Amino acid sequence: MNKTMKFHISKRASLPWYKAWGIRAAAILAALLTCAVVTMLLTGENPLNIFTTLFYGAFGTARRSWVTIQELAILLGISLAVTPAFKMRFWNIGAEGQVLIGGLATTACMICLADKLPNAGVILCMILASIAAGAVWGFLPAFFKARWNTNETLFTLMMNYIATQLAAYYIIVWEVPKGAGKIGIINQSSEIGWLPRLGNQYLLSILIVALLTGVMYIYLNYSKHGYEIAVVGESQRTASYAGIKVERVIIRTMVLSGAVCGLMGLLLVGGINHTLTTTVVDGRGFTAVMVSWLAKFNPIAMIFTSLLLVFLSRGASEISSAFGLNHSFSDILTGIILFFIIGSEFFITYKISVRRSAGKEA
């Protein structure tokens, strides 16, 4: 009887929501336990301390909470931007470049128009330029895909490098002081081109992304465009047969995706950092892909997946400084937790059945 497997894997038809979330909760618990064990073995610290510190790093003070929510907003915004493309099964891994080029356009307006236009005019130009730049970065791969069926994964990835090199070039052009290779805070004394503060410096980007989340939710679920995106994503042939102009949908969606990325570049440069570096996007263009997929392209669920990632990264970095550990340790913890969360999706999609009879005979 040993020849037969003692368990087998089958696809689940569907799982009630509470079971699915139960599995996810169990995964997070298991992940935290594993983290605790790893931490104890490697550093000898009390795991309870570790978790308190993790939480303190993300929400310990009012400022930490604001920064965490702002980080959440930026990651969520970029995730929202890539979602329509992914829902269409268009592998846009170029968000990093689309955000950066939006930031570069913003920077250009802030520096070149500062003494030529009034503040409101500069900000208007920044908004238009950043959205247009992002849209162009989204349009190019979509156009080539629609026309000549080029590979969008490679194309969007390559566009990232072009954006990075362009940014690097213009940073040298605008550097202060000469030879420093850095722009520094733009218009620090005049604050020209700085997006207005609503109450505090964090709120504006949070509100904009909150609005964007609602709009994107409606767009994807209740608009004709959203429906077309879903159909194209399921099958391009079905879509053509149903009379949907697939090429148009692809280009339109990618322009939208790029434009929203450009808008996030505007927030990053004009609203938060007030400077441009080649690393201003900080890999969020790629993290956004994970956020979007983990949430199954649901904008509301994305709030929680991006919160989880931001919470982990901020908390973990607090751990590394509070306990004097290398920053890589926080990456290890984040890695463990992500492993469990992504792994849990397997148990939600598939069922493992154990053969009792085999067990008895063995």
Partner 1 sequence: MKKFLALLLTLVMVLSLAACGGDKAEEPAKTDEPAKTDEPAAPTVKVGFICLHDENSTYDLNFINGAKAACEKLGVTDYVIKTNVPEGQECYDTAAELADDGCNIIFADSFGHEDYMIQAAKDFPDVQFCHSTGTRAHTEGLSNYHNAFASIYEGRYLAGIAAGMKLNEMIADGKFTAEEAKIGYVGAYTYAEVVSGYTSFFLGARSVCPTATMEVTFTGSWYDETAEKEGAQKLINNGCKLISQHADSMGAPTACELAGVPNVSYNGSTAAACPNTYIVSSRIDWAPYYEYAIGCVMNGEAIDADWTGTLATGSVVLTDLNENVIAEGTADAIKEATAKLEDGSLHVFDTAAFTVGGTALDSYQADVDTDANYTPDTEVILDGYFHESEFRSAPYFDLRIDGITLLDEAY
Contact residues: partner 1, CB under 8 A: 17-18, 21, 55-56, 59-65, 67, 168, 172, 176-182, 184-185, 188, 272-275, 277, 279-280, 282, 298, 300-301, 303-304, 307, 317, 320-322, 324, 326-327
Which string of DSSP letters, residue by residue, matches 90-133? Answer: -----HHHHHHHHHHHHHHHHHHSTTTS-HHHHHHHHHHHHHHH
44 or 179: whose CB is closer to partner 1?
A: 179
**Minimum Å distance from CB 328 to partner 1?**
8
103 vs 260: CA distance, rounded Å? 12
Q: State whether the Cα torsion 87-89-90-94 is positive or negative.
A: positive
**Minimum Å distance from CB 43 to partner 1?**
16
**Minimum Å distance from CB 221 to partner 1?**
13
**Minimum Å distance from CB 243 to partner 1?**
32
280 vs 138: CA distance, rounded Å? 19
Q: Which of 47, 153, 52 is nearest to 95 (CA)?
A: 153
Q: State whether the Cα torsion 326-330-333-336 is positive or negative.
A: negative
161 vs 153: CA distance, rounded Å? 13
One-letter amino acid identity for 200? N
299 vs 195: CA distance, rounded Å? 25
Taken as a whole, the chain contains a residue count of 362
58 or 146: whose CB is closer to partner 1?
A: 58
**Minimum Å distance from CB 61 to partner 1?**
5
**Minimum Å distance from CB 64 to partner 1?**
6
The contacts of residue 11 (CB under 8 Å, 6+ apart) are 349, 350, 351
122 or 303: whose CB is closer to partner 1?
A: 303
151 or 165: whose CB is closer to partner 1?
A: 165
19 or 147: whose CB is closer to partner 1?
A: 19
2 or 61: whose CB is closer to partner 1?
A: 61
